[in-house]
Amino acid sequence: MEQVIKQELITDKSQLLDYFHKGSKSRTDFKVGMELEKLAVNPFDCKAIPYSKGIESFLKRYGNGYVSEDGHVLGVKQDSGIISLEPGSQCEISTFPVQSLHDLKQSIVSYNKKSSLIADDLDFWWIGYGVQPVSTYNDIELIPKKRYAYMTDYLPDKGHLALVMMRETAGIQVAVDYESEEDAINKFRISLALSPIATAMFANSPIREKKDTGYKSFRALSWLNTDEARCGLVSKKLFNHDYEYTFEDHIEVLLDLPMIFIQKDSAFIGMKGRSFRDYLNNGFEGYKASMDDWFLHSNLFFPDVRLNNYIEIRNCDSQREDLILAPAALWKGILYNQDAMQAAFDLVKKLSYENLMELRRLVPKYALDTSIDSFKVSEAAKELVNIAYKSLKQMNIQDKNTNDESVYLESISELVNQSKTPADLILQRWNSDWKRNVAKLVEYSRISS
């Protein structure tokens, strides 16, 4: 007989608030986590590697501790984190949080080396790039995970590039801690306000279907056209300086968010877009709202920055090896130093919610060349990197070679000081010595360590 797991029912809003409050940590316990997604491609035709013809074999070879669904291996638990798959077999490592970026680097390098050796044996490559360069969602096999089947049915009606986002794109996410509700909201607001600048700095997906798309981050464009109700800047209230946004306000946002599905034991039940508030008040098909339902619902909220019992910054294209640690270094430097956090917010505090929405719309195409009136993203990016660099220097956390953590900002600092992005370097080569050969892009973006 299949075991039925009893779920904790939601009987009071305090249960939802407790989840956020329990995330508070002492500053001495602050850590940084990271999610790195990368794309698997055939080195000969540069097409995406299907789940059934390479990716499942990769997971089985990587190690034990399989995460499976209906007999299909969809992930692996290992010492430094959990390896999982996005809908189009984008492979993601979610590292366990660590205090030092040097330790984070060690985990990432170890994972990349091992995964590269296995991929070589299976005749494919991993690339650090924001979108599949040749294959499109029509050609990419959906992994056998039920939740993604529901999302495939639900999201295309909400945004015409939703399936591009799901099956083609890859990014880097950074997780940081907070000390209190006030600290959480400050970090949430500031990282959301800065998110268009970070998207611009790390733009790395200009080529798709072997062509220059006209966008420096096609991945970011796809998110703009996925589902406006569950993506973006969360709430206008966050950017009203006369309003004190709270955890309770955030819960209200999530309560009004349309639901996609719930999971009861092994069954997935479509929710037909009703809000969580309606489900909480009235139930659905004999089910009552549980905390597991709430966590699943919250996980299907896709803003540029997501508030959990930590803060998850989600808006960066996947990168080549020399830039993989840069997003984590940027956000640690800004958000784990009060003076740095204030200096960073000073760069954008005069921008209205409407200004920030306009930046989000323009940045996928223009990246660092984006401007609104006198606000220039390129100048803000230079200042932002400089603030984070000084902050990490001040923290002075050294590795065995006496390098502090600012070393992970050197490559992105060099780029932004030239007002360039990874996409600009690609386009320069694409139109000159690469002669628009996508194999050159794949070779350039290959991750092996």
Domains of the chain listed by start with CATH number: 14-445 (3.30.590.20)
- pLDDT value at residue 64: 85
Placement of tokens 């995970």 in the chain: 145
- pLDDT value at residue 2: 35
How far is residue 137 from each of residues 34, 42, 47, 132, 316, measured CA to CA in Å?
26, 16, 11, 9, 20
Q: Chain centroid to CA 14: how far?
A: 29
- pLDDT value at residue 6: 57
70 burial type by CB count under 10 A (0-12 exposed, 13-18 middle, 19+ buried): exposed
Hey, CA dihedral for 253, 255, 259, 264, is it positive or negative? positive
Provide the angle, in degrees to the nearest 10, between the axes of the packed helices 181-201 and 14-21.
70
- pLDDT value at residue 112: 97
- Both tokens assigned to 115: 């995964």
- pLDDT value at residue 149: 94
Question: What distance in Å separates the CA atoms of residue 405 and residue 385, rounded to the nearest whole number?
Answer: 13
Residue-by-residue pLDDT tens, the chain, 449 positions? 233 445 899 999 999 999 999 999 999 999 999 999 999 999 999 999 999 999 999 999 998 889 999 999 999 998 889 999 999 999 999 999 999 999 999 999 999 999 999 999 999 999 999 999 999 999 999 999 999 999 999 999 999 999 999 999 999 999 999 999 999 999 999 999 999 999 999 999 999 999 999 999 999 999 999 999 999 899 999 999 889 999 999 999 999 999 999 999 878 999 988 999 999 999 999 999 999 999 999 999 999 999 999 999 998 999 999 999 999 999 999 999 999 999 999 999 999 999 999 999 999 999 999 999 999 999 999 999 999 999 999 999 999 999 999 999 999 999 999 999 999 999 999 999 999 999 999 999 999 97
